[in-house]
């Protein structure tokens, strides 16, 4: 895969990676990238973090008994969102693997798209640490909080 330069990296490149790099079952989630942030906006606080906002559209096939979106789909969504946030922080594709992911489920998601706001809390040469807040798009209330660590492979 040809690596884009930082000047070429943007939301279209992130969308291309989402479609080209992930396993087919992840692309079957029909995720969309709503925004990526790799440069702090003017006047931003000093604790600003690069990241991304993604959407997972509601689908009955992602639900368990009772019509709630299953935890497995939410965890895969959070993991994928954090990879995209790392792309934003790196301003390019970089192979990585999940080392750890801790998910705290706060409430069920029923018949709604889910939004993921993923932020890179700390990025080092070989490791990256992040957090994801998953929210119901219907009412914008949090449904899960996720913390994760990634190993950078090259």
pTM score > 0.75 for this model?
yes
The CATH architecture that domain 11-39+48-152 belongs to is Roll (3.10)
Residues paired with residue 115 on neighbouring β-strands, in sequence order: 55, 135
CA dist., res. 65 & res. 86, Å (int) = 34
pLDDT tens digits, the chain, 154 residues: what are they?
444 444 567 899 999 999 999 999 999 999 999 999 888 888 887 788 999 999 999 999 999 988 899 999 999 999 999 999 999 999 988 899 999 999 999 999 999 999 999 999 999 999 999 999 999 999 999 999 999 999 999 8
Residues paired with residue 119 on neighbouring β-strands, in sequence order: 51, 131
Residues paired with residue 144 on neighbouring β-strands, in sequence order: 105, 134
Place of tokens 């509601």: 58
């Amino acid at each position: 895969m040809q690596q884009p330069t930082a000047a070429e990296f943007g939301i279209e490149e992130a969308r291309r990676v989402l479609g080209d790099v992930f396993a087919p079952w992840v692309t079957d989630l029909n995720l969309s990238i709503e925004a990526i942030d790799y440069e702090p906006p003017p006047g931003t606080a000093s604790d600003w973090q690069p990241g991304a906002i993604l959407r997972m559209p509601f689908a009955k096939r992602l639900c368990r008994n009772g019509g709630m979106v299953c935890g497995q789909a939410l965890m895969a969504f959070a993991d994928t969102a954090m990879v995209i946030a790392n792309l934003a922080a790196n301003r390019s594709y970089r192979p990585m693997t999940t080392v750890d992911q801790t998910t705290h489920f706060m409430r069920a998601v029923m018949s709604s798209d889910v939004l993921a706001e993923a932020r890179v809390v700390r990025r080092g040469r070989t490791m990256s640490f992040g957090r994801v807040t998953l929210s119901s798009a219907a009412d914008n209330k949090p449904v899960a909080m996720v913390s994760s660590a990634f190993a950078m492979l090259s």
